[in-house]
Amino acid sequence: MMNRSKPIDVAILGATGAVGQRFIQLLEGHPWFRVRELVASDRSAGQRYERVARWVLPGNPPADVACLDVLPLDADLQSPVVFSALPGDIAQAVEWRLAEAGHIVCSNASAYRMHADVPILLPEINAAHADLIGVQREKYGWGGGLATNSNCTAAPVAMALAPLRQFGIEAVQVVSMQAISGAGYPGVPSLDIMDNVIPYIGGEEPKLELEPRKMLGALQDGQVALLDCVMSATCTRVPVLDAHVVSVSVRFAEPVAEDDIRGAWESFVGPEPVPGLPSAPLRPVVVRTQPDRPQPRRDRDEGGGMATVVGRLRPCPVIQGWKFVALAHNTVRGAAGCSILNAELLAERGFLA
Amino acid sequence: MMNRSKPIDVAILGATGAVGQRFIQLLEGHPWFRVRELVASDRSAGQRYERVARWVLPGNPPADVACLDVLPLDADLQSPVVFSALPGDIAQAVEWRLAEAGHIVCSNASAYRMHADVPILLPEINAAHADLIGVQREKYGWGGGLATNSNCTAAPVAMALAPLRQFGIEAVQVVSMQAISGAGYPGVPSLDIMDNVIPYIGGEEPKLELEPRKMLGALQDGQVALLDCVMSATCTRVPVLDAHVVSVSVRFAEPVAEDDIRGAWESFVGPEPVPGLPSAPLRPVVVRTQPDRPQPRRDRDEGGGMATVVGRLRPCPVIQGWKFVALAHNTVRGAAGCSILNAELLAERGFLA
Amino acid sequence: MMNRSKPIDVAILGATGAVGQRFIQLLEGHPWFRVRELVASDRSAGQRYERVARWVLPGNPPADVACLDVLPLDADLQSPVVFSALPGDIAQAVEWRLAEAGHIVCSNASAYRMHADVPILLPEINAAHADLIGVQREKYGWGGGLATNSNCTAAPVAMALAPLRQFGIEAVQVVSMQAISGAGYPGVPSLDIMDNVIPYIGGEEPKLELEPRKMLGALQDGQVALLDCVMSATCTRVPVLDAHVVSVSVRFAEPVAEDDIRGAWESFVGPEPVPGLPSAPLRPVVVRTQPDRPQPRRDRDEGGGMATVVGRLRPCPVIQGWKFVALAHNTVRGAAGCSILNAELLAERGFLA
Amino acid sequence: MMNRSKPIDVAILGATGAVGQRFIQLLEGHPWFRVRELVASDRSAGQRYERVARWVLPGNPPADVACLDVLPLDADLQSPVVFSALPGDIAQAVEWRLAEAGHIVCSNASAYRMHADVPILLPEINAAHADLIGVQREKYGWGGGLATNSNCTAAPVAMALAPLRQFGIEAVQVVSMQAISGAGYPGVPSLDIMDNVIPYIGGEEPKLELEPRKMLGALQDGQVALLDCVMSATCTRVPVLDAHVVSVSVRFAEPVAEDDIRGAWESFVGPEPVPGLPSAPLRPVVVRTQPDRPQPRRDRDEGGGMATVVGRLRPCPVIQGWKFVALAHNTVRGAAGCSILNAELLAERGFLA
């Protein structure tokens, strides 16, 4: 594992938004990375972070970050690592340019997730996809590279399914109950969600039906082959602050015993060097045995918010397979935390200049 | 339709509980029925209703009911119609005895729902099952009769599927997001449900996988044949006051077009005399066209809380059929309101002494 | 009371906002008024209401209103009565112009509340202030007139204090717990208010310390003299959908007995013709005797949302007077409902052209 | 500060309840104390903790505590320190007996708070009251001692007022907005509190009007003289998980400048050895400068949940003094965390056998 004499500087794009703030919070006291540059829209650029950011997390922003001046989107960044929490449309131009300019860009934006040469990294399940950084360098002559993390709901789905790949995943049905923080800030109006469920999230279901197939796919000859399975998703918003819950039904190629599934989850670990990375949870998949778990408020912080918690495993007579409930913290494992873990992997793999 | 010179007296069993209160609220100003007897556990019996009932609905109990004395469970009731909001175990002995004694018992309890001679009535979809009252009288020599309404989550599932029976329902998968009022009072502790989802409700899933098949089944030779389809349910509790939401996937015997489903819902009406009953909604199934509906808070009171509201119809590639979202008010259509409609049907059919 | 052969047309300014929608909802089936004109910002003008309004109340907008085309702010309105739910800054120019042009403008905006010639009408307590319409006509040559209703939190404070004016109100301390609907739509982000209290509402406290004094003041020689009392307010936002709760402490000029206060509340009625107006509640002030009332969810719809509900009366040793809790529905009594009642009063008083 | 070679064993009374669980959570990894004995009602006694405790905090109970057998209330305890989270009525007999038997009992129960020989310890403001342990030993011949912490709402009131004692506190008015966790588990039914405020908490207001006066009083000749001020409280329950908010108005003996109050808060520290105790927050009182703070969700974890956070300081014309908003985490600073800090103080003072 890396033993660095000095910290690696990182920049955060979209630093004033909800996910940008989560990056800042999670990077406080990080053993390798140090937040040195904050980038946001022109409205905020040129001002001190603490003046322009409406901090929506507990407490106040860390003092050493609060006093930084916010840089504009076209700034000439110095940090080798760039985390992006930009909206998809803005991310498109900015992230490509920064990868070209030599930065390792770890992005939470959706812009490049399905690009053939860009991985959706979830290190425990597809660390090998990091090889696409090499493909990028060769193909585009980049000094840097670009890796994304998945949609926040796709993360627990892919993580819970990864240990089960060995059984031949054929079909997956998902109904999600998603937290309000997934919509950013100001995001969901309280008048819409209090005492209510909104059974629709714009653009979410197609992502959930596609991204896990890429994450779970195999990298061959510099290309990721989508996992060959059919997926169906229904996404809903519920009055919960953090953590997306998914009710999953899965059909396998052949009969699988309950103990085999449970055992696969409990023994699941990422490949080296993932388990030793600073942000990797002790166990990527945690199995709850109580009948009424996992629950967002009680399980979202498992493994520092980086674990996927599963439970309620039982047969599904309709899909002729199994069904279970899973959850993960949507702004940690499903967003900023995953991007940071991705950057740790890329640093450890030696992709930093 | 009935034109009565004087109101029909009704008794309410379990009158102090949450569903008992809903009976009282819905019967205020009812054109046919008048609440005359309130029955509760020994703890409350002998005291004025307003002193022993912790009223959990808005306002205060109606003045003419508030002043009634609560009767014990073994009271000799005078009312021809008895509504039961008793817990399942207590209901078992009491309801049978009252049916035997000549009362028409319309029950929200689960005790007799799956009894071969007792209907789970949802008048718009299976009014003919009321014939089982005749079977009961013949078989047991009763002067009265016993009809149940379904589990509160089964109601919107059965109602949304009923218009689609013509297409040959083969498989149904349901994930529910249920309101806290479904657990009665005191019911769900706020420490459990605030900022949380509980992905389990004890005993609920088996009911949801069975009751709709009985409700949707055909009555032949004095027996209800369960609808021949496979069902799979996952039940969750969400921080919503009233209305259960269900995400439903359904596979039909043959291909069905979207317009056929939509048309079946929009044209659906109950058989005579159901549409004219006082508690029947103008339209049993209401289709929402906005992409983000139905929503509990905004759709639960449709049709006075007696309509089932559906939306989000789209293909499901996994079940190879269709998926949609439906909801109904769990303590109105899913409990007290349905029992009242059932009693109206039985009265109109002439089953009252 | 008016007996009109045909309905009075009304226009609604700011019709697409949360309060504008409440106007539309409350006016559905109104015995005197009929919604004929909807006015909103340029963004919406020229389009059908149902296409541009994101309806945040239950159900859908009434069909006969949904199909109206939205008019721009500078439209030449035909309706004799104009209800305004405009933001304060826009209201300033528009309302004055419309009053000048002959319309009776009943406004929920704050722009003119403290204008010397404009009443803050709360008919049960200050119907006489409607005389200011005459002052306006004389002073400005208007054919119409302008009346406001108070800030939504000031309404229950003024209403609960009005019956106690006779005891000599000297000092009033208020801590409010206000519903999210008071901030309009999209209003309060759910990320701010879920599992939280926000102990500050911009601009609210000064209004609460001033408006009740005008409402409770006496009209003499065409001028309202503020009630001579000192007020102190703390305003907070709580996770409640509708109804503002106020904890009030009040000091009187002389000792008052508990029964005198309770009696004053219970016997309180507005002056003629207020009690007979269509939107007037049977009792403007309703006293709850249970120790844990009033509660927003259980008491906000009292009197169709037009009653102020009070309870928890007990001595306050610090202020050396009494303290109690009151609440009213903030978008009905505290906004649209009060404006409608004001218009009814002005119509009945003969101010309509 | 203590440098112990081995940990001090502690017992927890009422270990299965919500506050008992908080004790267990906060003591995990404590540098001095180790949980060795768990005591609960007869229903749980004799069984493993993990089998009988319905864990309501995040995650699961710590493994080394989960496997302990629960002891009955009359068990012969071995631990020198006993934390009590018992209900008041049961606490009365048990706590006295244990103090007599040589244990240092730090109790969250209300039973002995107002007993003349028992301190309500809030170390930063009244560490000297610990001398009452000596009084107890002399008077009753105890080998142990008994100290309480205050009602959970009294804690932030006393803490925020303590630095202001120098200005001569004459009158204090408090309106609280209290979290649901203050009522324990199952506690507040969700049907009561969702989308609601309950403006009453049984027995709470008298405590809030008395306990701060004892905490802020001076110990002279072995007796605590209540602070000579008049207090008035209104207590409400709001839909918040943790942290009680108080809106406070205070009148001083003489005029005080805003900067003097702010300065008194910011410079406030407890007397030696309090600041160095393991559970003492860096700053007991933290001043927020944003206009909309403190907020429960964003400020309750300040100082590990042990800080009192204040803000919104401004003049109050009615009380002729100042008003502000304060909050503290009710089950940490207002309950278990404070008891642990009290035990640390008593250990450091040498009261342990």
Counting every residue, how long is chain A?
A: 353
Give tens-digit pLDDT for D196-236: 999 999 999 999 999 999 999 999 999 999 999 999 999 99
pLDDT band at D88 (very low <50, low <70, confident <90, very high): confident
pLDDT band at C153 (very low <50, low <70, confident <90, very high): very high
Tell me, yes or no, if B201 comes closer than 8 A to chain D by beta carbon: no
For A154-329, give the CATH class. Answer: alpha beta
Catalytic residue among B103, B106, B129, B152: B152
Token digits of residue D105: 């009992």
Of the residues D318, D324, D325, the best mutation for testing chain C's interface (the one with the most C CB atoms within 10 Å of its CB) is D318
- Provide the CB-side half-sphere exposure for D62 (13 A, CA): 15
Tell me, yes or no, if C50 comes closer than 8 A to chain B by beta carbon: no
Looking at the DSSP assignment, which residues form a beta bridge with residue D236?
Answer: D177
- Whether A301 and D59 lie within 8 Å, measured CB to CB: yes
Give the pLDDT score at B98: 98
Give the H or E element holding residue C315: strand C308-316
Counting every residue, how long is chain B?
A: 353
Q: Helix, strand, or coil here: B16? A: coil
> What secondary structure letter does DSSP report for D198?
B
Give the H or E element holding residue B97: helix B88-100
Distance, in Å, from the CA atom of D190 to the CA atom of D195, rounded to the nearest integer, reads 9
Q: Which residues contact D303 (CB under 8 A, 6 or more apart)?
A: D281, D282, D283, D284, D286
Tell which residue, A107, A147, A150, A213, has the closest CA to residue A345. Answer: A147
Q: What angle, 0 to 180 degrees and rounded to 10, lies between the N-to-C axes of helices D18-27 and D337-348?
A: 50
Give the pLDDT score at A17: 95
Give tens-digit pLDDT for D111-128: 999 999 999 999 999 999
Q: Helix, strand, or coil here: C87? A: coil
Does residue C83 surpass a pLDDT of 80? yes
Give the pLDDT score at A42: 84
Chain B neighbors of D191, CB-CB under 8 A: 18, 56, 180-181, 185-188, 241
Does residue C244 surpass a pLDDT of 70? yes
In Å, what is the CA distance from B216 to each residue of B123, B222, B244, B327, D5? Answer: 11, 15, 20, 18, 72
Chain A neighbors of D57, CB-CB under 8 A: 298
- Give the count of beta carbons closer than 10 Å to the beta carbon of residue C314: 12
Tell me, yes or no, if D247 comes closer than 8 A to chain C by beta carbon: yes
Give tens-digit pLDDT for C174-196: 999 999 999 999 999 999 999 99
Tell which residue, C181, A199, C55, has the closest CA to residue B240. Answer: A199
Angstroms from D179 CA to nearest CA on chain C: 9
Strand segments (E) across B21-75: 33-39, 70-71
The stretch D17-28 carries a mean pLDDT of 97
- Whether D59 and A194 lie within 8 Å, measured CB to CB: no
Question: At which residue do the structure tokens 């009151």 appear?
Answer: C326
> What secondary structure letter does DSSP report for B31?
S
Q: Please, what is the average pLDDT of chain A?
A: 96
Q: Helix, strand, or coil here: C64? A: helix
Token digits of residue C184: 């309009």
Residue ranges, comma separated, of all CATH 3.30.360.10 domains in chain B are 154-329
Give tens-digit pLDDT for C291-317: 999 999 999 999 999 999 999 999 999
Give the pLDDT score at A337: 98
Does residue D5 surpass a pLDDT of 90? no
Q: Please, what is the average pLDDT of chain D?
A: 96
Handedness of CA B282, B285, B289, B290 (dihedral sign): positive
Give tens-digit pLDDT for D158-202: 999 999 999 999 999 999 999 999 999 999 999 999 999 999 999
Residues in chain B with pLDDT values less than 50: none
Peptide bond before A61: cis, by omega within 30 degrees of 0? no
Give the pLDDT score at D2: 59
Q: Helix, strand, or coil here: B132? A: helix
Token digits of residue B105: 């018992």
Tell me, yes or no, if C92 comes closer than 8 A to chain D by beta carbon: no
- Give the count of beta carbons closer than 10 Å to the beta carbon of residue C62: 14
- Give the count of beta carbons closer than 10 Å to the beta carbon of residue C76: 6
Token digits of residue A60: 């106040």
Looking at the DSSP assignment, which residues form a beta bridge with residue B285?
Answer: B308
Does residue C338 surpass a pLDDT of 70? yes
Give the pLDDT score at B5: 73
Residue ranges, comma separated, of all CATH 3.40.50.720 domains in chain C are 8-151+336-348
Give tens-digit pLDDT for A166-216: 999 999 999 999 999 999 999 999 999 999 999 999 999 999 999 999 999
Tell which residue, B124, B81, B164, B110, has the closest CA to residue B328. Answer: B124
Candidate from D196, D295, D319 with C-beta closest to C295: D196
Tell me, yes or no, if A291 comes closer than 8 A to chain B by beta carbon: yes
Tell which residue, B11, B211, B219, has the closest CA to residue B130. Answer: B219
Tell me, yes or no, if A59 comes closer than 8 A to chain C by beta carbon: no
Does residue D95 surpass a pLDDT of 90? yes
Closest residue on chain B to A300 (Cα): B196
Of the residues C16, C190, C241, the best mutation for testing chain A's interface (the one with the most A CB atoms within 10 Å of its CB) is C190
Asked if residues A102 and A353 have their Cβ atoms less than 8 Å apart, the reply is yes
> What secondary structure letter does DSSP report for C69?
B
- Give the count of beta carbons closer than 10 Å to the beta carbon of residue B260: 14
For C8-151+336-348, give the CATH class. Answer: alpha beta
ipTM confidence score = 0.96
pLDDT band at D12 (very low <50, low <70, confident <90, very high): very high
- Whether D230 and C317 lie within 8 Å, measured CB to CB: yes
Token digits of residue A127: 């660390």
* Residue-by-residue pLDDT tens, chain A, 353 positions: 555 678 999 999 999 999 999 999 999 999 999 999 999 988 899 999 999 999 999 999 999 999 999 999 999 999 999 999 999 889 999 999 999 999 999 999 999 999 999 999 999 999 999 999 999 999 999 999 999 999 999 999 999 999 999 999 999 999 999 999 999 999 999 999 999 999 999 999 999 999 999 999 999 999 999 999 999 999 999 999 999 999 999 999 999 999 999 999 999 999 999 999 999 999 999 999 999 999 999 999 999 999 999 999 999 999 999 999 999 999 999 999 999 999 999 999 999 96
Token digits of residue D193: 């509190």
Distance, in Å, from the CA atom of D269 to the CA atom of C2, rounded to the nearest integer, reads 70
- Provide the CB-side half-sphere exposure for B271 (13 A, CA): 12
- Whether A245 and B197 lie within 8 Å, measured CB to CB: yes
- Whether C58 and B298 lie within 8 Å, measured CB to CB: yes
Give the pLDDT score at C42: 84
The catalytic residues of A are 152, 244
Angstroms from D129 CA to nearest CA on chain C: 27
Q: Which chains touch B (3 or more CB pairs under 8 A)?
A: A, C, D
Asked if residues B222 and B119 have their Cβ atoms less than 8 Å apart, the reply is no
The catalytic residues of D are 152, 244
Candidate from B200, B234, B297 with C-beta closest to A196: B297
- How many beta-carbon pairs under 8 angstroms link A with B? 132
Angstroms from C60 CA to nearest CA on chain A: 14
pTM: 0.97
In Å, what is the CA distance from B32 to each residue of B39, B81, B334? Answer: 20, 11, 21
Distance, in Å, from the CA atom of A43 to the CA atom of A36, rounded to the nearest integer, reads 20
Q: Give percent helix, percent strand, percent coil of chain B, each to the nearest 5.
A: 35, 25, 40
Does residue D93 surpass a pLDDT of 90? yes
DSSP-H helix ranges across A71-216:
88-100, 123-126, 132-140, 154-161, 190-193, 204-215
Residue percentage of chain D with pLDDT more than 90 = 97
Angstroms from A298 CA to nearest CA on chain B: 8
Looking at the DSSP assignment, which residues form a beta bridge with residue C323?
Answer: C249, C314
pLDDT band at C88 (very low <50, low <70, confident <90, very high): confident
Tell me, yes or no, if D297 comes closer than 8 A to chain C by beta carbon: yes
